[in-house]
Amino acid sequence: MKETTKRAIFRTVHLILAIPIIGYIYSPFEVLPGYAFPTRFVFFPAIALSGLWMWKGHVVRRLFAKSRPELS
């Protein structure tokens, strides 16, 4: 898979996961308890991880791509 395709997929996932957070922010106060758990523990961490991966994913890939010295 090309890097541009991966980047487009991460951007799309990042934007789609932002929709429930926007709903959480702009929803009436009475319905907030229904949105609180999934927003705090599912959508926000997923957005944070996808954002960090888009920002510093190349560093993580480089760390895992290096071969480690064999112990004899």
* Predicted pLDDT at 12: 94
Q: Which long-range contacts (CB under 8 A, 24 or more apart) does 53-61 make?
A: 53/10, 54/7, 54/10, 54/11, 54/14
Which residues of the chain fall below pLDDT 50?
none
* Predicted pLDDT at 3: 83
* Predicted pLDDT at 68: 60
